Amino acid sequence: MRWEDFRQSANIEDRRGEDYAGGGGLGMGTILVLGILGYALGIDPRLLIGGAEMIAQRNPTQYVEPSRNAGRPSTPPTDQMGRFVSAVVAQTEDVWGEILPAQKNLKYTPPRLVMFDGRTNSACGLAQSAMGPFYCPVDQKVYLDTSFFNDMKRRLGGGGDFAYAYVIAHEVGHYVENQLGILGRAQRAQQQSSKVEANRISVRVELMADCFAGVWAANADKKWQILEKGDIEKAIATAQAIGDDRLQQSARGSVAPDSFTHGSSAQRVEWLQRGLQSGRIDSCNTFARQ
Per residue, what are the HEC states of 115-147? EECCEEEECCEEEEHHHCCEEECCCCEEEEECH
pLDDT tens by residue, 223-263: 999 999 989 988 888 887 777 777 777 777 888 888 888 88
- pLDDT band, residue 25 (cuts 50/70/90): very low
Q: Are 116 and 82 in contact (CB under 8 A)?
A: no
Nearest to 238, CA basis, from 167, 144, 136, 177 = 167
Q: Please, what's the b/e burial string for 33-52 (b: 16 or more CB within 10 A of its CB; e: otherwise)?
A: ebbeebeeebbbbbbbbbbb
Q: Are 245 and 21 in contact (CB under 8 A)?
A: no
Q: Which residues pair with 122 in a beta bridge?
A: 125
Indicate the domain borders of the chain.
12-288
pLDDT tens by residue, 123-149: 988 888 878 899 999 999 999 998 888
pLDDT tens by residue, 98-111: 999 999 999 999 99
